[in-house]
Amino acid sequence: MIQKLEDYGQQHLLRFYEELGKEQKEKLLKQIEEIDFGILSLVKSNSEHKKGKIEPIEALKIDEIAPNRVKYYQTGLHTIQEGRVACVLLAGGQGTRLGFDKPKGTLNVGIDRELYLFEILIENLMETVRATGGTWIHLFVMTSDINNDDTVSFFEENEYFGYNRDYVTFFIQEMTPAVDFEGKIYLEEKGKIAVSPNGNGGWFTSLKKYGILDRKECSGIEWLNVFSVDNVLQKMADPYFVGATVESGYPCGSKVIKKAYPDEKVGVMCKENGKPSIVEYYELTPEMISEKDPSGNPAYNYGVILNYLFRLKDLDDKVNKNLPVHIVEKKIPYIDESGTQVRPDVPNGYKFETLVLDMINLMDDCLVYEVVREEEFAPIKNKEGQDSLDTARKMLIQNGKNI
């Protein structure tokens, strides 16, 4: 192990080793053993994935969807009734911007009654279950080491909000180390490496690792609907979207909305080297933000709401190890050489993440499916202002929900 640490210039991780108790020592060594040190070379070589040629893309627009709604609905419902669609809820994130240190899904959104984010999602999924006449849909919930126990016990305490628990499976995503700007891994405590969830692109490999899709009762699944935890209007296994994607013959689909303002924090749908692709908001260039189409409207105006449908066999063929790794600047709490705790106010290093949105460009094509923002997108990201609990509550009320 010492050799391994020397090879990667990380000997400092054992700086406090002799001060540790037996159990702490073992834990630290286990952490070191599990770390994928190969990822660290990305910092030194600055070899972060570079995008190809980016161009605007057209969507299947709301008014183009309208004449085919009945057809899409029937195809979608039929596909779901046959057990060919499962849902993947991405709930491994940390909710840092919201300043809420429990799992985001346990946030109470109600005003006159208790109504939790997880509960809203389950209620929305139940709508589809009812529409199918009672076909339960598998729901796979991705958590992380940080929030798994709290998430599972929350579902248990609330009796799965009336959902059939046999159809709910939790799985834990992997963690990656946090490093300083030189690529040296931070210690969070004397015997603990600073790690964080490996980004929401980790879902497919973690799902596979758990063998969930290999279970007999999952053998009919052909499509996976992947979505985020924080959108109170999130529609899951939406028959219209499922039907439109199946009918399109494409291996995946992505729900998009028209962006509300140029710097809205949503990934932007575009073409990369001629194929559908998404540029995450923090990687948008000023040119992409300001570019106009021939009629003077923003050229890159379709934002993703993080609701994707993937055909399983294409994921199997294409994803594996091909996802690019994003190096993201973050504020990382750590202990310095003297063993003192430091909580930085400004970014002091990098975390490594893979992103679900990068899976779109790995697929051969994608249905870009426009939805009505007011009916499908009300995320809770911030404490106040835009995309906050307040704005989400307003949108729920506007949609006739009793909260």
Q: Which residue lies nearer to ligand UD1 by CB, 10 or 143?
A: 143
Rounded to whole angstroms, what are the CA distances from 245 to 64, 67, 225, 240, 248? Answer: 14, 15, 11, 9, 5
Q: Is 267 in the site for ligand UD1 (CB under 6 A)?
A: yes
147 binds ligand UD1, rule: CB under 6 A = no
Work out whether 276 is an interface residue with ligand UD1 (CB under 6 A): no
> What would the x/- binding string for ligand UD1 be over residues 164 to 183, using CB under 6 A?
---------x----------
From 15-23, 40-48, 259-267, 283-291, span contacting ligand UD1 (CB under 6 A): 259-267
* H-helix segments, 249-338: 286-290, 312-318
- 3-class secondary structure, 26: helix
| Burial of 190: CB neighbours in 10 Å, binned 0-12, 13-18, 19+ | middle
Contact mark string toward ligand UD1, 285..324, x via CB under 6 A? ------------------xxxx------------------
| Sequential DSSP letters for 206-229 | HHHHTTGGGSGGGTT--EEEEEES
CA-closest candidate to residue 169, choices 202, 212, 219, 137: 212
Residues 6+ apart with CB under 8 A from 61: 370
If one counts every other C-beta atom within 10 angstroms of the C-beta of residue 220, the result is 12
Alpha carbons 306 and 229: distance in angstroms, whole number: 9
- Is 229 near ligand UD1 (CB under 6 A)? yes
Determine the length of the chain.
403
332 in contact with ligand UD1 (CB under 6 A): no
Q: Least distance to ligand UD1 from the beta carbon of 69, Å? A: 24
252-258/302-311 β-pairing? antiparallel
Binding mask 335-374 for ligand UD1 (x = CB under 6 A): --------------------xxx-----------------
Taking the complex as a whole, how short is the minimal distance between the CB of residue 44 and ligand UD1, in angstroms? Answer: 23
Shortest reach from residue 380's CB to ligand UD1, in Å = 9
Q: Should residue 197 be labelled a site residue for ligand UD1 when binding is judged by CB under 6 A? A: yes
CA neighbor of 257 nearest in space, from 247, 268, 248:
268
CB of residue 37 vs ligand UD1: minimum separation in angstroms? 20
Residues that bind ligand UD1 (CB under 6 A): 90-93, 104, 142, 173, 197-200, 228-230, 265-267, 280, 303-306, 355-357, 379, 381
